[in-house]
Structure 1
Amino acid sequence: MDLLWTNLRIPVEEDSLLLTTIARKLNVPEQSISGLRFARRSLDARKKPHLVFVYTIQLSLNVPNTEVSRILARVPGIKEVQPEEPVLWPKPSKKLKSRPVVIGAGPAGYFAALALARRGYAPLVLERGDRIEERTRKVQEFWDAGTLDTESNVQFGEGGAGTFSDGKLTTRIQDRRIADVLDTFVKHGAPAEILFLAKPHIGTDILKEVVRGIREEIKALGGEIRFRSKVTGLIPSGDRLQRVVVNGGEEIPTEAAILAIGHSARDVYEFLFNSNIALEKKGFAIGLRVEHPQALINLSQYGVEEHPHVGPADYQLTFQDVRTGRGAYAFCMCPGGRVVAAASEEGGVVTNGMSGYARDTNIANSAIVVTVGADDFPTAHPLAGLEFQREWEHKAFLAGGKEYRAPAQRVVDFLAGRVSEHFDLPATYTPGIVPCELHSVLPAPVGDVLNRALRVFNGKIKGFAGEKATLTGIETRTSSPIRIVRNGQGESLSMAGLYPAGEGAGYAGGITSAAVDGLRMAENLMAQYAKVE
């Protein structure tokens, strides 16, 4: 009989003896336990430095049914596993004349393409940037020398923006497809622990290998992937998609395309607007990156500067400003990471956080951002949020000396309104930093809320606003400033056969939710269209 055990609490020091501990708690022989699978593991640090892992596990017991009944009655949190209902696929009503196209090779695009390829649809993937190997070289050139390739960078190219991040897979959504996403990552080289950790992450180093593996599976199943192939137009027949235009000239016939462009494809948003595709402006958040010694965060979260049984600590911080109604929060927290240059357009500075799987830089960083919305944007135009981002990225570019260096300031100096004369914790951002009064590169309401939020966060994590805290700016790409409106079947309201997907469409936030949305749009496509024979 398969059993599910929730809220199983194990001191971190006993984690290596987990099977023995489980057998002891159930009062059964170790050899009677089989099929042990971790469904979830989180960390309870409320009684630091005494830390506890909290597990949800699934297991089978080779003991008499009477003993199982006694365990069910005696041990809290254990119940029988209910079988999952099978997924029933609808029968499509139309047959494709041309293979489906997937626009973008980020998580939404690649998982959509993989789902289509696994069911024989042989999709064509069009990606404006380079494959991951060449893209990595271009990104490093930008970080080392400030040489920006506007088509292949931290935002554009195989793997999407999440490839140069912490590789976090946490998500607030609940969806059956999450298991498929995580299983696929593991199949292609991600550590198996992501299947059960409460806060799973891969790291940019491993994520690059995973992306390569997904690419090769799509190709092996009959799909095709073309790099340096930017979609620059959509040609309809009536109100239905008929062709996509690539690189301003080539026309590729297709009746069904998944549009997974990522949240920074501003030129695509512009041609969509000019093509009368229904768009809505959407709120997002902007702010600054803050860096601290990792030991400072560990001490606050674990009670010790370094714990032998757990990795570097993270944090979640939120603040609701009663004066303005705006929220401030920590975003994309990267333990043991670094701050990276993430611009995709000339004349703008953008920051982001990144870390490898080991999270071993001894520096913690996170964006501290404030919500902005339609009232902050200069006009009521659907693309006004995009122009708002550009404005503040350009101000940061000018403040940094026009060479993609980032304006920077100690937190204590930001709160005091003075330019930093030195940095107790040198910023990790490359190509480098320039001391600056960071309020000058932020909208005044955002800077005011950050002032109050940082003081509140300092009360939650001692030293958060101390002398060993460094700020760099500006963080603007927290999510898409635009939503591409779609109907209940996932198609654009303006063009049948066009399926907006992922972060760039305004329906996801992060690697896992974008991948899930890509799978969902692939399912919607396959529900309507049978594959080309």
Structure 2
Amino acid sequence: MIKITGLKVVLTYDLKILEDIVATRLNIEHSRIERISIAKRTVNARNKQDIYFDMTVVVCVSGDENEVISMNKDKFISKEIELNYTVPKDRKLKERPVVVGCGPAGMFAALILAQAGARPILLERGLDVDSRKRKVLKFWRTGILDTQTNVQFGEGGAGAFSDGKLKIGQKNPRKMKVLSELVQAGAPPEIMYLSKPHIGTDRLNETVKGIREQVIRLGGEVRFNATVKEILFKDAQVTGVRFEEEGNIAEVSTDNVVLAIGHSARDTFESLLNSGVYMEQKSFAVGVRVEHSQEMIDKIQYGDFAGRPELGAADYKMVVHLQNGRGVYTFCMCPGGTVVAATSEENGLTTNGMSEFARDGRNANTALLVTVEKEDFGSEHPLAGCAFQRRIEGAAFTAGGGGYKAPVQRLEDFLQKRKTTAFGDVLPTYLPGTEFAVLDSFLPEYITDSLRHGILEMGAWMPGFAYPDALLTGAETRSSSPVRITRGESLEAIGIKGLYPCGEGAGYSGGIISAAVDGVLCAEQILGS
């Protein structure tokens, strides 16, 4: 097969237009083209008067493909290298491996183990995704929080209530394996080629169920409402897992545990630390959510092309480096989305962003974050970052007046350090509700000062970003894990054989794809590949 990169394609393209472009580029007759598949598609909006798709395609032609490539002498035309993944063979494990946590890392570790015939047992503290969705919607409507099943805990992990954004980067066999499994489980097929693919919360729910069903069909076991209390060791070797399931304490014997607990399992972090598992502080970021009208973002990014159905809702991504040494950046931008209550602990408040697949909500939102270093935590204790998060979340809960209402402030009022008294033309999407507050009342001064400088610099890069009526909602504290459960070259925890810290909670990934790939890597280590 032949790969062609750098194709300029009109927004209204169809197969006939693609065939014309490919035939001209390869200098061959249309009749020689047997199949065209899109490998990558990016919106090129550098020139607002001429927005088009920048495309990479893979073409199958009749005759000698090498001759076609050599005849063209074009650096953008090359032989396609297939990125196939082969599931490792089961090396006949003595005991069934246990996977703790059903987010992307845990799901894909369990899936690879199941496909290899290892019959994994997957333990998840929260409920299945359908029951979880009902619990979360009830929380958003009423403010009644379930600390075991919420936006952070339950089947699908924290990513199940997000935009379902997939950061691909350079493709490799493991990433292609993850993408293909997601599609087979119900994700949109276009995630295989879009440069900025997303699944959406609504489609993610069905997708994670599809993966779970495959794990079970292949001999695996998935147990919900199963909170791990202790990893059992003997002579620095994992021997089992003790967990609480529906009020009863149970144990399962195993010599391999994938620890994919997510970035909010603070009680599990404490239990592991008390058991002698080595972990260390990790830098992360803290800030707020900022909302604009999606219509305004579309016009900023696409000009007169705004609203074209081929383009969908516009997004953006920015980062600035301040003179004070801190970085300010946008994170998890959700076009046409909502700001959601994402806490997992009582009397604390943290936010996140979420979009459905259609991205058709009235507002766009993004996290606006400031880097936080270990020196900011106020202690050298390994879990000092968790305590740092809790302090901000508790102060934000108080600033919102309780009941998990979020403190909000117009952007102009934030810049002027005054309390908002009325909304402008951007209305909040956050539930259970909002309360006007000064964000400085719950965020450290170095965070708010950095946010102010960052907003102004971003407004210079993206005119309109510093819109006076844009709305800031706080606090955003769970962008990544505040700890790293240190592991060695074998991916096992330092000094403990058979324990595999994995994914975002262990401090080794950030986002759905990288977490899933880390799960694949840990499964491969267990299988001895």
Is the CA contact (8 Å cut-off) linking 1:297 and 1:461 kept in structure 2? no
Is the CA contact (8 Å cut-off) linking 1:173 and 1:513 kept in structure 2? no
Aligned residue number for residue 122 of structure 1: 119
Q: Distance in 1 between matches of 2:61 and 2:251?
A: 60
Is the CA contact (8 Å cut-off) linking 2:140 and 2:341 kept in structure 1? yes
| CA-CA distance at 1:91 after TM superposition | 8.6
Gaps of 5+ in 2: none
Cα 1:171/1:441, change in 2 over 3 Å: farther
Aligned residue number for residue 446 of structure 2: 445
1:12 alignment partner, SS class: coil
| CA-CA distance at 1:33 after TM superposition | 1.3
| CA-CA distance at 1:67 after TM superposition | 6.4
Q: Distance in 2 between matches of 1:137 and 1:297?
A: 32
Aligned residue number for residue 278 of structure 1: 278
Q: Distance in 1 between matches of 2:289 and 2:445?
A: 17
Aligned residue number for residue 3 of structure 1: 2
Identity %: 46
The one of 186, 190, 211 equivalent to 2:187 is: 190
2:106 alignment partner, SS class: helix
2:179 alignment partner, SS class: helix
The one of 93, 97, 100 equivalent to 1:96 is: 93
Cα 1:389/1:172, change in 2 over 3 Å: farther
What CA deviation, in whole Å up to 9, does each residue of 1:192-227 have, x standing for no partner?
A: 110011100000000100011001000000000000
Aligned residue number for residue 256 of structure 1: 256
Aligned residue number for residue 227 of structure 1: 224
Cα 1:494/1:358, change in 2 over 3 Å: same
Q: How does 1:32-43 map to 2 (within 5 A)?
A: 32-43=32-43
| CA-CA distance at 1:57 after TM superposition | 1.4
More displaced, 149-158 or 172-181? 172-181
Aligned residue number for residue 165 of structure 2: 168
Aligned residue number for residue 500 of structure 1: 501
Cα 1:517/1:46, change in 2 over 3 Å: same
Aligned residue number for residue 12 of structure 1: 11
Cα 1:89/1:160, change in 2 over 3 Å: closer
Cα 1:137/1:515, change in 2 over 3 Å: same
Aligned residue number for residue 465 of structure 2: 464
| CA-CA distance at 1:461 after TM superposition | 2.1
Q: Distance in 2 between matches of 1:70 and 1:222?
A: 49
Alignment-mate amino acid for residue 80 of structure 1: K
Length-normalised TM-score, structure 2: 0.95
| Match status 1:178 vs 2:175 | yes
- Report the number of matched residues: 523
Q: Distance in 2 between matches of 1:66 and 1:506?
A: 45
| CA-CA distance at 1:8 after TM superposition | 1.3
| Match status 1:144 vs 2:141 | yes
Q: Distance in 2 between matches of 1:84 and 1:143?
A: 42
Aligned residue number for residue 517 of structure 2: 516
Aligned residue number for residue 68 of structure 2: 68
Is the CA contact (8 Å cut-off) linking 2:298 and 2:314 kept in structure 1? yes
Alignment-mate amino acid for residue 5 of structure 1: I
Alignment-mate amino acid for residue 522 of structure 2: M
2:428 alignment partner, SS class: coil
Is the CA contact (8 Å cut-off) linking 1:72 and 1:79 kept in structure 2? no
Alignment-mate amino acid for residue 128 of structure 2: R
Q: Distance in 2 between matches of 1:433 and 1:192?
A: 37
| Match status 1:265 vs 2:265 | yes
Is the CA contact (8 Å cut-off) linking 1:181 and 1:512 kept in structure 2? yes
Cα 1:464/1:112, change in 2 over 3 Å: same
Q: Distance in 2 between matches of 1:84 and 1:500?
A: 27
Cα 1:312/1:143, change in 2 over 3 Å: same
Q: Distance in 2 between matches of 1:227 and 1:126?
A: 6
Aligned residue number for residue 218 of structure 1: 215
Is the CA contact (8 Å cut-off) linking 2:238 and 2:499 kept in structure 1? yes
What CA deviation, in whole Å up to 9, does each residue of 1:367-419 have, x standing for no partner?
A: 00000011100210000000000000000000011110000000000000011
Cα 1:88/1:513, change in 2 over 3 Å: closer
| CA-CA distance at 1:49 after TM superposition | 3.2
More displaced, 276-285 or 462-471? 462-471
| CA-CA distance at 1:172 after TM superposition | 4.4
Q: Distance in 2 between matches of 1:466 and 1:65?
A: 53
Alignment-mate amino acid for residue 479 of structure 1: S
| CA-CA distance at 1:85 after TM superposition | 8.4
Aligned residue number for residue 374 of structure 2: 374
Alignment-mate amino acid for residue 441 of structure 2: S
2:453 alignment partner, SS class: helix
Alignment-mate amino acid for residue 471 of structure 1: L
Aligned residue number for residue 241 of structure 2: 244
2:528 alignment partner, SS class: helix
Cα 1:197/1:82, change in 2 over 3 Å: closer
Aligned residue number for residue 288 of structure 1: 288
Cα 1:85/1:144, change in 2 over 3 Å: closer
What CA deviation, in whole Å up to 9, does each residue of 1:279-330 have, x standing for no partner?
A: 01000000000000112111111113422421111001111011x2000000
Is the CA contact (8 Å cut-off) linking 2:283 and 2:371 kept in structure 1? yes
Is the CA contact (8 Å cut-off) linking 1:339 and 1:428 kept in structure 2? yes
Cα 1:82/1:133, change in 2 over 3 Å: closer
Is the CA contact (8 Å cut-off) linking 1:282 and 1:385 kept in structure 2? yes
Alignment-mate amino acid for residue 391 of structure 2: E
Aligned residue number for residue 80 of structure 1: 79
Is the CA contact (8 Å cut-off) linking 2:69 and 2:79 kept in structure 1? no
What CA deviation, in whole Å up to 9, does each residue of 1:320-367 have, x standing for no partner?
A: 011x20000000000111100000000111110000000001311000
| CA-CA distance at 1:87 after TM superposition | 5.8
Gaps of 5+ in 1: 529-533
Cα 1:43/1:240, change in 2 over 3 Å: same
Alignment-mate amino acid for residue 13 of structure 2: E
Aligned residue number for residue 365 of structure 1: 365
Cα 1:173/1:160, change in 2 over 3 Å: farther
Aligned residue number for residue 435 of structure 2: 434
Is the CA contact (8 Å cut-off) linking 1:293 and 1:468 kept in structure 2? no
Cα 1:5/1:131, change in 2 over 3 Å: same
Aligned residue number for residue 352 of structure 1: 352
Aligned residue number for residue 410 of structure 1: 410
Length-normalised TM-score, structure 1: 0.95
Q: Distance in 2 between matches of 1:233 and 1:44?
A: 51
Aligned residue number for residue 103 of structure 2: 106
What CA deviation, in whole Å up to 9, does each residue of 1:9-41 have, x standing for no partner?
A: 212233563233322433433332123222211
Q: Distance in 1 between matches of 2:475 and 2:445?
A: 14
Cα 1:83/1:211, change in 2 over 3 Å: closer
